[in-house]
Structure 1
Amino acid sequence: MLELDAITAGYEPRKPVIAGISLSVRPGESVGLLGPSGCGKSTLARVAALLHRPDAGRVVIDGTEATGWRHRAPRSQRTAFGVVFQQPRLSADPRLTLSALIAEPLRATGRAAEAADGAREFAARVGLGEDLLGRRPHEVSDGQLQRACVARALILRPRWLVCDEMTAMLDASTTAALVRVVEDYRADSGAGLLAVGHDRVLLERWCDRTVHWSEPAA
C-alpha cells in the first residue's frame, strides 16, 4: 500500500501548500485526486512519488517508511514509481532523442544493455512508431512527446504510478489512448495509480474512487 500520513509540505519555510493531508492507495487501485489549480494536489503528488520532501508526516511504501527523497531515496523505493507530468516539454531533456528519453531510467539504473530493446517495446505500447524514435522533442508534437514520457514512466515496470495532469494538454483521442495504455499496464502488473486532475468526468470514469479536494492550506 502507498500511504500518505498527515503530510504537510511547501516550498518556503512556515508557508505550507498542504497541511495535515492523509491519503492511501491500495495495490491495483486507481485513486483520482480532483481539485482546482492552486489547491496543492500537485505538491502532494510530488511528495507521494518521493520528489519533494514534506515538512511533516510520513510516506509509507509497501509497509516501509520513506527515509529519503529524490536521489537520496533508496533505489528500491525510487524505482517503485513511474511519474508522468502535465507539461512534457518541461520534463524531457531537449537534447535526447525519443528513444534515449524513453530508455533514460534504464541507463540511470545500470541497465544500458536493455535500452534499445526496451525503448522499442514501450514505444510500441504507447503508439509511437519507430520512425519517431530518432527525433528530438522539438521535432514532435506535444501528444507524441507525452506518449514518450508515459513510456519512460513505465519502462522500469513500477508498482506505483503518479499521473499529475497527464492529459491536460492533449486532445480527446490522445487522452483516451494514454489512459488506455496506463490501464492496460495496471491490469497486467497490478500497479496502483494516483491520478491528479481537475477534470471531474475524466477522473470519475478512469478511477476506482475520486477524492475531491478544494481548499488550499491556510
Structure 2
Amino acid sequence: MLELRSVTAGYDRRAPAVRDATLTVAPGEAVGLLGPSGCGKSTLARVAALLHRPDSGTLLLDGHPVRHWRHRAPREQRTTFGVIFQQPRLSADPRLRLADLIAEPLRATGRRAEAADRVAELAADVGLTPDLLARRPHEVSDGQLQRACLARALVLRPSRLVCDEMTAMLDASTTAALVGVVEEYRARTGAALLAVGHDRVLLTRWCDRVVDWETVVGPDTARKQPVG
C-alpha cells in the first residue's frame, strides 16, 4: 500500500505547490490522478516516488513511514518504484546510448551481469530494434526515447509504477503502445500504478479509478489551481 497523508510539498516553503494532499494506491491498483497543467500533481508524484522530500505530512509504504528520500532512501524502497516522466529528453543522459540508458539502474545496483539479457528482453517489449539501441538520445525521436525510458523504469522489476504525464508528448499510436506495455507488465507482475495526467478519457480507460486533483489536496491548493 502506498499512502500519502496530509502532504505539503514544493520548491519554495513560502509558496508550496501542494498543500495537505492525501492519496492512496493499493497493491495492484491503477489510480489516475487528474488535474490541469501546473496544478502541482507532478510534485506530488515525485514525493510518492521518493524523489522529492515533502515539507510536511507522511508517506507510508506498506504501513511503514518513509523517513528518507532520493539517494538517502534505502535501496529496497527506492527500487520498488519505476518512474516515467513527461519529457524524456530531460530525464535521459544525452551521452548514453539507449542500451546503456536502459541498463543504468542495473549497473547502479551492482547487477551489471544481467544487463545484456535484460536490455534485449525489454527492448523487444517496448518496440526498440537493435539498431536503435546503439543510438544516443539526439539520434532518435521523442517516442523512441520514451520507449527507452519506459524500459529503464521496468528494468529492476518494480512493484509500483509512477507515470507522470508519460504520453503527453506522444502521438496516439505511440501512446497506445506504451500504455499497452505498462498494462502487460502489470498483468504479469501485479504492480500498482499511479498515472498522472490531464486527459480524463485516457485515465478512465487506463485506470481502475480516477481521482480529481481538487479532491486530493486541501482547499488552499484547490483554490489556486490554474485553468487549462
| TM-score, structure 2 as length reference | 0.93
Map of 2:201 onto structure 1 = 201
| Equivalent position of 1:117 in the other structure | 117
Using the alignment, how far apart are the partners of 2:139 and 2:114 within structure 1?
Answer: 25
Alpha-carbon distance, 1:14 to partner: 2.5
User: Secondary structure of the residue that 2:3 maps to in structure 1?
Assistant: strand
The aligned runs of 1:166-181 (5 Å cut-off) are 166-181=166-181
Q: Mapping of 1:1-218 within 5 angstroms?
A: 1-214=1-214, 217=221
C-alpha displacement of 1:113? 1.0
How far the C-alpha of 1:130 sits from its partner, in A, is: 1.2
How many matched pairs? 218
Q: For residue 8 of structure 2, give the secondary structure of its aligned residue in structure 1.
A: strand
Which runs of at least 4 in structure 1 moved beyond 4 Å after TM superposition? Answer: none
Change (3 A) 1:216 1:134: farther
Mapped partners of 1:13, 1:168: distance in 2: 29
Contact 1:2/1:62 (<8 A) preserved: yes
Cα displacement (A) at 1:187: 0.5
> For structure 2, which runs of at least 5 residues remain unmatched after alignment?
none
Structure 1 residue 202: deviation in Å?
0.3
Partner of 1:59, secondary structure, is strand
How far apart, in 1, do the equivalents of 2:15 and 2:206 lie?
Answer: 33
How much identity, in percent, do the aligned residues show?
A: 74
Displacement after TM superposition at 1:15 (Å): 1.5
For 2:220 and 2:110, locate their aligned partners in 1 and report how far apart those are by CA, in whole Å. 40
What letter is aligned with 1:2? L
Q: Distance in 2 between matches of 1:213 and 1:67?
A: 25
Amino acid at match of 1:101: L
Q: Is the 8 A contact 1:103 1:152 kept in 2?
A: yes
Q: Secondary structure at the match of 1:12?
A: coil
